[in-house]
Structure 1
């Protein structure tokens, strides 16, 4: 059980797509649009969740995902399976897009107090247990959005995306020691924020 699972975070289910990644990338390089559609169905969900967790903004996350797949379409041969998974590669491109937006604006990515993406689910009747779980998830995401960008990124990569420390450090463009330090501080800060929220 992961660290965030103990706090009630439910990780997304793994993709059930069975198409061979290398074959799809070869088809994409040959101009097969169907291959891009299959790769998008398989990878876009996790890339979007990663981008949303970093950006705290739906529109920015969607733009980042679109740009990541546009780059993949323009140059599928740039992906090197020896350096990591396709999902991590796409997440890295989405991250660069978000970081570029953040630098251009010369301010931090907006930090929302809660997710606004689940209005339909909130309107539906739910049991007390499901409602409590949803509220706990909202509190967790709100706390994650209050972390600084470097801490949030480390936490999202390792604890939500379940990247290895080495893969997370590569995506973040930092050394393994820096990544570990950021992750440690992020976990401490998140625990503090959640503890404050529990006080009467």
Structure 2
């Protein structure tokens, strides 16, 4: 009796899972980061990221190569907006916890840490104040380092729209940070 008759065929589910783990799981941090900036809440971001990963796994057969990161971030974005549509507007909450968003660095002096925290806090507050489409574009470009083409693919927008949104987001951030800086200088003791 030939030995090949007793050979067990490979499990297609195991191969699919291994491929998913190799292509998609390395981008889990990027998925959570985008979800966090869109949802503006850690718990909601975890829900969005988890649901997006489930959807990505469920529809992994539709992934035909290319950039798995862009594919996953598009799923995260779509998951966020679909879950947001299911949530009543009064259930949405906009919270900002200073303790969660501060930079803890042991090396600089207390004065340097205060200045760093003010700068980061100002930037985070300015990002939080941007409308969703502008915040989404700037987070994908500056924090996730996506190209214009990748952002267009993730958001389903034309590259011109992406470029326009990025320009407006940068201008709004600049104006907000300049305004904050001017207010801080007015309150300085000389």
Q: Is the TM-score greater than 0.5?
A: yes
In 1, Cα distance between the equivalents of 2:99 and 2:57?
31
On the 8 A contact 1:114/1:142 being kept in 2, the answer is no
Q: TM-score, normalised by structure 2?
A: 0.74
Q: Per-residue displacement from partner, 1:129-169 (whole Å, max 9, x unpaired)? A: 34533432222122111100111111111121111111101
Match for residue 85 of structure 2?
A: 103
Match for residue 184 of structure 1?
A: 167
Q: TM-score, normalised by structure 1?
A: 0.71
Match for residue 137 of structure 1?
A: 120
Cα pair distance change 1:185/1:37, threshold 3 Å: same
Please report how far the alpha carbon of residue 190 of structure 1 lies from its aligned counterpart in structure 2 after TM superposition: 0.8
Cα pair distance change 1:55/1:166, threshold 3 Å: same
Match for residue 135 of structure 2?
A: 152
Please report how far the alpha carbon of residue 29 of structure 1 lies from its aligned counterpart in structure 2 after TM superposition: 6.1
Cα pair distance change 1:75/1:179, threshold 3 Å: same
The structure with the largest alpha-carbon Rg is 2
In 1, Cα distance between the equivalents of 2:19 and 2:65?
17
Gaps of at least 5 residues in structure 2 are 1-9, 185-190
Please report how far the alpha carbon of residue 52 of structure 1 lies from its aligned counterpart in structure 2 after TM superposition: 0.7
Gaps of at least 5 residues in structure 1 are 1-26
Please report how far the alpha carbon of residue 111 of structure 1 lies from its aligned counterpart in structure 2 after TM superposition: 3.9
In 2, Cα distance between the equivalents of 1:126 and 1:56?
29
Match for residue 5 of structure 1?
A: none
Cα pair distance change 1:70/1:53, threshold 3 Å: same
In 2, Cα distance between the equivalents of 1:106 and 1:74?
27
In 2, Cα distance between the equivalents of 1:111 and 1:28?
46
Secondary structure at the aligned position of 1:87 is classed as helix
From 139, 149, 167, the counterpart of 1:166? 149
Cα pair distance change 1:43/1:29, threshold 3 Å: farther
Cα pair distance change 1:134/1:44, threshold 3 Å: farther
In 1, Cα distance between the equivalents of 2:129 and 2:97?
10
Cα pair distance change 1:165/1:36, threshold 3 Å: closer
